[in-house]
Amino acid sequence: MINNTSTRDEIINMLKKQKRLTVTEMASQLGITEMAVRRHLNTLERDHLVQTTLVRQAMGRPLNVYHLTDLGDEQFPRNYSGITVEFLKDIEALKGEETVNELFSRREHRLNDKYKERLEHKSFEEKVAELAAIQNEAGYMVDWEKKDDGTFELKEYNCPIAMVAKEYQQACSCELSLFKKMLGTDNIERKICLAKGGDYCHYIIKRNEKEA
């Protein structure tokens, strides 16, 4: 009998390889009951890793066919950062460092344009909270708090582009610049940086003095 954890992994692996399977097909391949398969599928659906599609047949009742979601597919190894670093190195070799700097700058402006509406008409504290929410959506694992003196601390415990940032510090400087644009303040200081060996990225955020 396969234990719960490995059964979950087996189902994900089966769907990755075979793309679409019914409960009956999975139960047969795993050698367990359909009820047991459904129990695992319920958990996987709750975690948004698999989803079901109703497939009509020429004869008989429609079948529920399961397949991986985009999030489920992301459970398998990726090397996005590795190939990004390789491309950046090639671009630097072909076009020079200024072109690489321009790429990071374009990314900064693109993100600012993407999110600026979410920060409009908000108080400074609400903007900090919204910035944290945006970063969490992007996988940065953010905590933030307001201190007694009115400043804010924001910590990022994960960096989805860590491999890129370790090779190209422009990624970190552009993030700092982006935060300043999004919050409308020049008073942001990064005390600790993941890409430079820190345990997390640590920002101290203050309003502009004229607004304080």
Is residue 26 within 8 Å of 37, Cβ to Cβ?
yes
Tokens 């072909």, located at residue: 94
Is residue 51 within 8 Å of 66, Cβ to Cβ?
yes
| Domain limits for position 105 | 80-205
Q: Point out the domain boundary residue: 25, 46, 73.
A: 73
62, 87, 191, 198, 212 from 205: Cα distances, Å:
56, 34, 11, 19, 12
pLDDT at 85 over 90: yes
pLDDT at 3 over 50: no
Domain check: are 94 and 143 in the same one? Answer: yes
- CA nearest neighbour of 130 among 148, 115, 152, 111: 115
- CA nearest neighbour of 208 among 179, 189, 177, 186: 186
Distance CA 192, CA 34 (A): 51
pLDDT at 197 over 50: yes
pLDDT at 6: 84
What integer best gives the mean pLDDT of the chain? 93
Other residues' Cβ atoms within 10 Å of the Cβ of residue 196: 12
pLDDT tens digits along 86-133: 999 999 999 999 999 999 999 999 999 999 999 999 999 999 999 999
Domain check: are 85 and 175 in the same one? Answer: yes
Domain check: are 69 and 84 in the same one? Answer: no
pLDDT tens digits along 67-80: 999 899 888 887 78
- The pTM (predicted TM-score) of the whole model is 0.70
Is residue 77 within 8 Å of 36, Cβ to Cβ?
no
Domain check: are 29 and 112 in the same one? Answer: no
pLDDT at 57: 83
pLDDT tens digits along 41-50: 999 999 999 9
